[in-house]
């Protein structure tokens, strides 16, 4: 047997060790949280630093002469003439008259590459809007090519990215810069145009509209159905095997990988019911099935939080079970249900994988105008752009992500706000 | 008339029916001395009439929409049967497509055979007949329903129980949609998988070591059979998920412990929602981040250590996926840790244990079933995650356990096999459904098991 003094020493020694372990353990916890927070910060700064540039785009100022002979249009009201017009020649001749010393086919091609491929069509649109300009000369800002845009932005930052630039192009840009004829403007194309193969002309309007139509349909279907299911399960369902089975199903569906819902949409909606591919209708149906469990679960929680005294009071006044639920329980549970619906919609807005299965991944230039127009959605647009080889699309993708994230932040904060504002504590 | 127009018409008539039903009940109640002589409130009589008016026609309309097209198609094709003879499914579909394109004017009528043109005319004719008969039928049905519902109204008529009964069934139908969804998933993946397993034996799919999904364009082509051994995909999926878990479990668990046991109220109020931000970010954003930021960074890091890291590596995809799963694990673990009764903590602390000893020796063992359940749910989520791996893990089906190499996963292959236009009956597309079946089964089992554990554990402390 050891003496008591020895034991005390032992305990004292072990105490310092144990206290050190305690401190270490706390630091593990702190480090874990810091890793999580660092991930949030790194992610956001990375996306923002990559994408902020896309909100501004390079324009070049040129003296454009709308020459009737070059365009080949005499009558601005004749659509056939307008369609046949040689619109590309207008910006080209403007460039040639700006840089008169350029000769030789190769150099000229380099010169023409300063401007976006769509510059001619933009000028056509301008001319159609202002027919009096025909035959006139004006000085206007024209959209630059994406390579020029990338170069000019990086050049302004002091680290020019010149991989796709020729020497004379760089010289022209320097000349334009010194004359003040090249500048960055707000990129309105990003918000007003559909997708394009040319990064400088590509916009997210089409994807936003596609997301809008898909989400509207999803909300219109999943909110009423989800709330009805929640009401049934919470207020009317008898406790039996069938309702247990429904509950197990709902809980499992909430955890089924989203891509499985895509397979379901492909096999059932497209292959069996012949709903056309790529349209918001089928996207909305798939996302409805996907968000239903979320909405049912949150709605049930909201109904559950309404105290039974409310129900008892209504029943005591002679209301039927349905009148109790519809007139008293439902209005009180509505804020919670709306919060759940917003969270479900945010989930649906960010969802990509199931939509790839049902063909919403197509390259669509036109801006969808309805539920049955082929469309893509914002996250799928991000996926498509992330796959594109052009360097300028990295910037675009990050900008689209910023737009998507800001929509999600707005939705989630409004859900939190709604909950704080409207939810009653009993 | 278009289906949407018919729908609007039915709904408008339903609203109309509500008002005349209510009006009639009010009119009947007046001579008796007010609505308290009615069995139900006037609006219930209105709802009753509206239901009789709209419900039968809505049901018929949806049935018609489902069976209209297949019926017309089979009628048209049976009229063509003698020209076509006994043909395969593919040519059948091709012919049908051609006919409907001619009928809709997408394909020009010149240069088409007479039989096709006749069939197209027949199809147009059938469609016109179908449309008009649908319109007429709908109108008749709504009006008859309206009149019937209207005629049943009298002061003794028990409208409220009837309306409530219908409503209860509607609510039940909404709740049953969850079952139909599950059923739809099972049936859709099962049927296509059975078809797939007819051309590729099950054991070859589950145990085969080589994955190169190809379908022959010609019969005698080299490598025409393709190989559908899914083991490399399973290994890839497990590898990526394992990397994700290595990142997510310690970080998620430790942050949950810290937030639940140590953090002050202000730290908790700030850190918990900040971590939850990670859960709200769409997976496509993580995919972009993994492919364009993390993967190049890892490759450069690897080269500086003399390692060759593939530009699409399991490490990048798995690591970013782990970051995505951190809040999932931390919030689940947080729930179970806070559910451990305070008395257990107090007991341990009273015995002289330090706080970390209490956590490690008492709280974690007590919360273990819940934590394991949460981790299993996280694994099932990692296995089913698609966009991150599609964008960052690569396509090459390699049988490797090295996280620095590029691997492919089940979900990646489903996406690559099914995006774009393919024929629906080739083994290549059907393979995606077989993979889907695997994915669904595995995640379902994991989920059921995990939910069971979590539920059982919760009951223990309630």
pLDDT, tens only, A114-169: 898 888 888 888 888 888 888 888 888 999 998 889 899 888 888 888 888 888 88
CB contact under 8 Å between B171 and A231, yes or no, is: yes
pLDDT in tens, B116-165: 788 888 888 888 888 888 889 888 999 999 999 888 888 888 889 999 99
Of the candidates A289, A282, A286, A285, the one whose C-alpha atom is nearest the C-alpha of residue A374 is A282
Same domain, A174 and A214: no
B227 three-state secondary structure: strand
CA distance A125 to A119: 10
Same domain, A209 and A182: no
> Which residues, in sequence order, are CB contacts of B79 under 8 Å at separation 6+?
B119, B122
In a domain, A339, yes or no: yes
A86 three-state secondary structure: coil
Average pLDDT of every residue of chain B = 86
Same domain, A286 and A353: yes
Return residue ranges of chain B for CATH 1.10.3720.10. 227-461
Distance from the Cα of A340 to chain B's closest Cα (Å) equals: 14
In a domain, A328, yes or no: yes
Q: Closest partner residue to A267 among B182, B188, B277, by Cβ? A: B188
Same domain, A234 and A112: no
> Which residues, in sequence order, are CB contacts of A58 under 8 Å at separation 6+?
A143, A144, A148, A149, A152, A153, A182, A183, A184, A185
CB contact under 8 Å between A259 and B179, yes or no, is: no
* Cβ atoms within 10 Å of B92's Cβ, excluding its own: 14
Window A:294-333, CB contacts with B under 8 Å: 296, 320-322
Q: Count the helix, strand and coil residues of chain A and give each as a percent rounded to the nearest 5.
A: 70, 5, 25
For A224, A331, A342, B172, the CA distances from A334, given in Å and listed in that order, are: 12, 5, 12, 20
Provide the domain limits for residue A120: 56-187
Q: Closest partner residue to B447 among A229, A252, A271, by Cβ? A: A252
> What ranges make up the beta strands (E) of B259-354?
none
Residues of chain B with C-beta less than 8 angstroms from the C-beta of A412: 280
Give yes or no for a contact between B429 and B417, defined as CB atoms under 8 angstroms apart: yes
Same domain, A83 and A209: no
Query: Quick check: B176 contacting A, CB < 8 Å?
Result: yes
> Which of A267, A285, A349 to mutate: most B Cβ within 10 Å?
A267
Report pLDDT for A341: 93
Residues of chain A with C-beta less than 8 angstroms from the C-beta of B188: 263-264, 266-268
Query: Quick check: A346 contacting B, CB < 8 Å?
Result: yes
For A143, A246, B202, B316, the CA distances from B383, given in Å and listed in that order, are: 45, 25, 21, 16
What does residue B58 show for φ and ψ, rounded to 5 degrees?
-65, -40
Residues of chain B with C-beta less than 8 angstroms from the C-beta of A14: none
In a domain, A6, yes or no: no
* Cβ atoms within 10 Å of A375's Cβ, excluding its own: 29
Same domain, A169 and A253: no
pLDDT in tens, A281-329: 999 999 999 999 999 999 999 999 999 999 999 999 999 999 999 999 9
CB contact under 8 Å between A352 and B284, yes or no, is: yes
In a domain, A247, yes or no: yes
Residues of chain B with C-beta less than 8 angstroms from the C-beta of A29: 254-255, 257-259, 262
Least confident range from A116-130, A318-332, A388-402, B214-228: namely B214-228
Report pLDDT for B127: 85
CB contact under 8 Å between A351 and B282, yes or no, is: yes
Query: Quick check: A361 contacting B, CB < 8 Å?
Result: yes
CB contact under 8 Å between A236 and B171, yes or no, is: yes
DSSP H or E run through B283: helix B283-289
Window A:202-221, CB contacts with B under 8 Å: none
| Helix (DSSP H) and strand (DSSP E) numbers for chain B | 18, 2
Give yes or no for a contact between A98 and A132, defined as CB atoms under 8 angstroms apart: no
The string of DSSP letters for A95-159 reads HHHHSTT--SHHHHHHHHTTB-TTHHHHHHHHHHH-GGGTT-EEEEEEEBPHHHHHHHHHHHTT-
Same domain, A323 and A251: yes
pLDDT tops 70 at residue A2: no
Give yes or no for a contact between B243 and B409, defined as CB atoms under 8 angstroms apart: no
* Cβ atoms within 10 Å of B284's Cβ, excluding its own: 28
CA distance A323 to B184: 34
Give yes or no for a contact between B53 and B142, defined as CB atoms under 8 angstroms apart: yes
pLDDT in tens, A171-226: 888 889 998 889 999 988 889 888 888 888 889 999 999 999 999 999 999 999 99
Same domain, A218 and A180: no
**What is the average pLDDT across B314-335?**
93
Same domain, A73 and A179: yes
> Which of A18, A39, A44 to mutate: most B Cβ within 10 Å?
A39
CATH of the domain at A286: 1.10.3720.10
pLDDT tops 90 at residue A401: yes
pLDDT in tens, B370-403: 899 999 999 999 999 999 999 998 887 888 888 8
Same domain, A132 and A94: yes
**High-pLDDT (> 70) share of chain A, %:** 98
What does residue B422 show for φ and ψ, rounded to 5 degrees?
-130, 165
Angle at A332 between CA A328 and CA A333, to 5 degrees: 115
Burial class (CB in 10 A: 0-12, 13-18, 19+), A86: middle
Count of structural domains within chain A: 2
CB contact under 8 Å between A26 and B258, yes or no, is: yes
> Which residues, in sequence order, are CB contacts of A98 under 8 Å at separation 6+?
A62, A63
CB contact under 8 Å between B178 and A351, yes or no, is: no
In a domain, A24, yes or no: no
Same domain, A320 and A384: yes
> Which of A353, A379, A385, A390 to mutate: most B Cβ within 10 Å?
A353
CB contact under 8 Å between B436 and A35, yes or no, is: no
Class of the CATH-defined domain B227-461? mainly alpha
Same domain, A226 and A157: no
pLDDT in tens, B269-322: 999 989 989 999 999 999 999 999 999 999 999 999 888 888 888 999 999 999
CA distance A376 to A75: 38
The last residue of a domain, from among A155, A187, A219: A187
Query: Quick check: B281 contacting A, CB < 8 Å?
Result: yes
CB contact under 8 Å between A249 and B274, yes or no, is: no
**Most distant CA pair in chain A, distance:** 116
């Amino acid at each position: 047997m050891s003496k008591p003094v020895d034991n005390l020493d032992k305990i004292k020694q072990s105490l310092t060790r144990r206290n050190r372990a305690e401190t270490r353990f706390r630091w593990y916890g702190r480090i874990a949280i810091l890793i999580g927070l660092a991930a949030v910060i790194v992610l956001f700064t990375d996306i923002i630093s990559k994408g902020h540039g896309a909100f501004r785009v390079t324009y070049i100022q040129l003296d454009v002469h709308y020459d009737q002979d070059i365009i080949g249009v005499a009558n601005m009201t004749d659509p056939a003439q307008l369609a046949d017009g040689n619109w590309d020649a207008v910006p080209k001749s403007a460039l040639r008259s700006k840089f008169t010393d350029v000769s030789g086919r190769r150099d000229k091609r380099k010169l023409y590459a300063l401007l976006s491929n769509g510059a001619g069509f933009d000028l056509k649109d301008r001319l159609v809007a202002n027919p009096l300009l025909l035959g006139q000369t004006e000085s206007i800002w024209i959209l630059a090519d994406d390579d020029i845009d990338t170069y000019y932005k990086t050049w302004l930052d002091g680290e020019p990215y010149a991989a796709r630039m020729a020497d004379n192009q760089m010289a022209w840009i320097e000349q334009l810069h010194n004359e003040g004829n090249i500048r960055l403007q707000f990129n309105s194309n990003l918000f007003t145009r559909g997708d394009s193969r040319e990064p400088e002309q590509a916009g997210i309007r089409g994807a936003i509209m596609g997301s809008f139509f898909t989400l509207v349909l999803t909300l219109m279907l999943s909110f009423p159905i989800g709330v009805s299911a929640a009401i049934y399960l919470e207020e009317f369902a008898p406790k039996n095997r069938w309702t247990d089975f429904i509950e197990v199903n709902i809980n499992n569906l909430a955890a089924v990988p989203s891509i499985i819902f895509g397979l379901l949409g492909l096999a059932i909606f497209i292959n069996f019911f012949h709903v056309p591919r790529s349209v918001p209708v089928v996207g909305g149906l798939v996302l409805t099935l996907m968000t239903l469990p979320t909405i049912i679960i949150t709605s049930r929680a909201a109904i559950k939080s309404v105290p039974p005294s409310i129900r008892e009071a209504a029943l005591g006044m002679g209301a039927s079970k349905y009148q109790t639920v519809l007139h008293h329980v439902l209005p009180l549970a509505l804020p919670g249900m709306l919060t759940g619906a917003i969270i479900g919609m945010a989930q649906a807005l960010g969802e990509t994988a199931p939509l790839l299965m049902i063909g919403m991944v197509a390259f669509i230039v036109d801006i969808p105008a309805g539920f049955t127009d082929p469309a893509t959605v914002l996250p799928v647009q991000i996926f498509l752009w992330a796959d594109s080889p052009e360097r300028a699309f990295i910037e675009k993708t990050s900008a689209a992500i910023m737009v998507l994230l800001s929509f999600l932040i707005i939705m989630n904060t409004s859900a939190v706000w709604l909950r704080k504002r409207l939810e009653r504590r009993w | 008339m278009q289906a949407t127009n018919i729908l609007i018409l039915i709904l408008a008539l339903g609203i109309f029916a509500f008002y005349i039903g209510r009006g009639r009940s009010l009119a009947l109640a007046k001579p008796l001395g007010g609505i308290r002589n009615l069995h139900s409130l006037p609006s219930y009589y209105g709802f009753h009439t509206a239901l009789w008016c709209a419900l039968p026609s809505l049901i018929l309309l949806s049935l018609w929409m489902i069976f209209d097209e297949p019926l017309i198609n089979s009628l048209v094709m049976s009229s063509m049967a003698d020209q076509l003879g006994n043909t395969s499914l593919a040519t059948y579909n091709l012919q049908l497509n051609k006919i409907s394109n001619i009928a809709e004017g997408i394909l020009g009528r010149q240069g088409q055979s007479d039989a096709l043109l006749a069939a197209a005319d027949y199809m147009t004719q059938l469609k016109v007949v179908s449309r008009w008969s649908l319109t007429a039928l709908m109108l008749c049905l709504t009006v008859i329903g309206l009149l019937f519902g209207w005629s049943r109204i009298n002061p003794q008529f028990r409208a409220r129980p009837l309306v409530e009964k219908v409503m209860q069934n509607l609510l039940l139908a909404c709740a049953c949609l969850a079952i139909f969804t599950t059923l739809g998933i099972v049936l859709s993946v099962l049927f296509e998988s059975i078809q797939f397993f007819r051309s590729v034996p099950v054991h070859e799919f589950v145990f085969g070591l080589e994955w190169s999904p190809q379908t022959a364009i010609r019969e005698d082509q080299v490598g025409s059979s393709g190989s559908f051994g899914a083991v490399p995909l399973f290994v890839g999926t497990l590898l990526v998920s394992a990397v994700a878990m290595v990142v997510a479990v310690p970080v998620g668990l430790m942050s949950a412990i810290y937030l639940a046991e140590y953090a002050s109220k202000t730290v908790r109020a700030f850190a918990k929602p900040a971590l939850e931000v990670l859960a709200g970010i769409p997976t496509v954003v993580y995919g972009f981040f993994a492919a364009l930021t993390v993967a190049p960074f890892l490759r450069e890091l690897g080269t500086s250590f003399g390692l060759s890291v593939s530009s699409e590596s399991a490490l990048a995809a798995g690591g970013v996926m782990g970051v995505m799963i951190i809040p999932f694990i931390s919030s689940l673990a947080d729930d179970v840790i806070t559910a451990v009764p305070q008395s257990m903590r107090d007991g341990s602390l009273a015995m002289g244990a330090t706080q970390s000893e209490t956590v490690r020796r008492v709280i974690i063992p007590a919360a273990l079933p819940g934590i394991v359940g949460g981790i299993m749910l996280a694994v099932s989520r990692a296995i089913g995650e698609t966009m991150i791996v599609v964008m960052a893990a690569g396509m090459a089906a390699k049988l490797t356990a090295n996280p620095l190499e590029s691997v492919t996963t089940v979900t990646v292959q489903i996406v690559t096999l099914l995006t774009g236009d393919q024929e629906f009956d080739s083994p290549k597309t059907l393979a995606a459904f077989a993979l889907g079946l695997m994915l669904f089964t595995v995640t379902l089992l994991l989920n059921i098991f995990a939910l069971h554990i979590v539920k059982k554990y919760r009951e223990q402390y309630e």
